[in-house]
Chain A
Amino acid sequence: MAEVALQDVGKSFGATRAVGGLDLTVGDGEFVVLLGPTGAGKTTTLRLVAGLERADTGRILIDGTDVTALPPAARNVAFVFQQYSLYPHYSVYDNMAFPLRAPGQNLSKDDIDRHVHETAKLLRIEAKLQNRATQLSGGEMQRVAIGRALVRQPTIFLMDEPLSSLDAKLREDLRVELKRIQRDLGATILYVTHDQLEAMTLADRIGVLSQGELVQIDTPRAIYETPRNIYVARRLGSPQINILDAGLLAIAGVPAGAAKIGARPEDVLLRCDGGAAATVRAIEHLGVETLVLLEVGEGLVHALLGGAAPFAVGDRTTIKIRERAAIAFDAQGDRIPPPPDRAREAAYGT
């Protein structure tokens, strides 16, 4: 395992800039998730690290060594693709042994056998080793694909939406398993997804990409609570954050110059004293929680309530944002840090 650093890396395909001026460091044993919509440059970033694409500008360092000009084979990275990861003409065993049989590995038959069985055990696919790759279910295939990456000791695991082709239940299972394996092995992982739940649950740090640029990189919690701009705020959290005109609701402590106010649905309080008048427009029961769509003046606000909502569509109620929960954005969409909280400073001395 090793530290991987991208320094001012840029890559264009013809006139299209895929990645620009990217600075990113993945620490040893760290799980970094790149999050962004299609075309944000997530996959290109992974391919640059793997050496499948050559960077136009900047440097890529693995463990302090400049690998920018090295071919993929010389980088000792492992790549898990979204699909097409298994060779259909090989058995599961041969698929997993494939990286170990590469030239330069010089492993004995026994060593290969041992590594394959250890990895298969870790992933719970031992019983399937002699099957043809084509006889596996989707979840098993992705397990084997991850196994192919785990079977040797690469400097970094690069994973390009490895779970996105699976159904929801399986994705959840494998997500938990992947996190367990990462902790057990202390693996360095750079992981790409557009699924914010995956990002939140897996990552030590999340990097949010937009149009080839890293907008913000921080812990999941920091990104959720203090997004750098509206774009980042919208990428995390489900249901999505409410972005309201600053004047729509009277909120205490909103800094001057705020053009938009972000309020997470769970921070919207209903039936409270001194709130603004609102009308219930729709109710979605999500099981544990209930999502209520409200009309406030000219705007629409989502509120997430724990438990069942004591409302019917058309009911009138009052609405308020939880204290200090509102996130203020300026006219450019960038977050304005809240003014220092005097009362809090007085109480805690910070």
Chain B
Amino acid sequence: MSAGATSAHSVVESKAVGKWIAGLLVMAYALVAVVPLAWIFSTGFKSPPDSISYPPKVIFEPSLEGYVNLFTNRSRQTPEYIESLGTATTWYDDIVRKRNMVITGPSRFKDRYVNSVVIGFGSTFLAVFLGTLAAYGFSRFRVPLKDDLMFFILSTRMMPPIAVAIPIFLMYRTLGLSDTILGMILLYTAVNVSLAVWLLKGFMDEIPREYEEAAVVDGYTRLQAFIKVVLPQARAGIAATAIFCLIFAWNEYAFALLLTSGNAQTAPPFIPIIIGEGGLDWPAVAAGTTLFLLPIVFFTVLLRNQLLRGITFGAVRK
């Protein structure tokens, strides 16, 4: 190809102006995406008056009051009573007493958070585990009615899951799964497994059968070949699938609100209703949201390399 003919279609180097425009667009999008997160993060460190001040305060005196309120239950006392307690022994007692309050005990946030972790990761593990096996089966074996089964699995996602909320609510009440961690794990697994099967089947199909056949001829059983050869190569796909499943289970709000209350409630329905004096305690809500975001960020960063490594079928020539 001649240089003149390729300039219009070159994918190697774009014009400097194009780079600038692309850069500005990315910056603009990043701004739109990051500002709410930054606002939540900063609100978590504001005092309640600062959090609702108008005009909003960008520069403020940082305080851990939101985090203290998030983790504790408090009650209002008279200044005389507070004075009779003497000096506060801990920094969080000190913060609370400045508002004429005393800590009466831990809040339920920790329990809710632990529930979220157990249910989120538990259902993700189950969905990915079942999805991997099912995808491998669909990819490699002659399954009767394969196409119909795959369509059936996909069809479970054709309506919003919440559309079946009432039947599930009744079913769970009858089975005693209502407000249990097991019930929520099963529910999220059921919703996620279809996604997992479809995503992973695509990845499995991409792994040449020759790898397993070579292993089988070399003296390995089918299961060993699966574990030693297929799983390592499906790693990127499994990581991607796990992130999708975790994000759904972690962020799910409607079922959690409907099916859980005192026992198995997860963080999403709990955080927005943290009530302070005279309404919502915004710093506490923001602090809870910040902490709630962390595992997903951590998990995604942890698996980032797996995701970026992508589908490295480098040892083959296509």
User: Could you tell me which A residues sit within 8 Å of B by CB distance?
Assistant: 50-52, 71-73, 75-79, 81, 83-89, 98-99, 102-105, 133-134, 136, 138, 141, 148, 165
Contact = CB atoms under 8 A, between A and B. Distances in A.
Contact of B218 (A86, A88, A99, A136): A99
Contacts of B307: none
A250 B206 CA distance: 59
Interface in B299-314: 312-314
Contacts of B35: none
Contacts of A77: 217
A72 B315 contact: no
A57 to B, nearest CB: 20
B210 interface: yes
A50 B314 CA distance: 26
B220 A73 contact: yes
A148 B221 CA distance: 18
Given A75-B217, A87-B229, A88-B314, 5 more contacts: A72-B213, A73-B218, A87-B315, A134-B312, A141-B317
B215 interface: yes
Given A85-B210, A85-B214, A134 B314 contact: yes
A116 to B, nearest CB: 14
A134 B313 CA distance: 8
Given A89-B233, A103-B224, A83 B219 contact: no
Given A52-B213, A79-B213, A99 B317 contact: no
A81 B313 CA distance: 16
Interface of B: 208, 210-211, 213-221, 224, 229, 232-233, 235, 312-317
**Which 5 pairs, one residue from A and one from B, show the smallest C-beta to C-beta distance?**
A102-B219, A134-B314, A88-B315, A99-B218, A84-B210
A303 to B, nearest CB: 39
Contacts of B214: 79, 81, 85, 148
A175 B220 CA distance: 29
B203 to A, nearest CB: 14
A98 B317 contact: no
B204 to A, nearest CB: 14
Nearest to B218: A99
A165 B213 contact: no
Given A84-B210, A87-B211, A87-B229, A50 B217 contact: yes
Nearest to B209: A84
A103 B208 contact: no
B219 A103 contact: yes
B210 A72 contact: no
Given A88-B316, A134-B314, A138-B317, A52 B224 contact: no
Contacts of B229: 87
A133 B317 CA distance: 12
A84 B217 contact: no
A79 B314 CA distance: 21
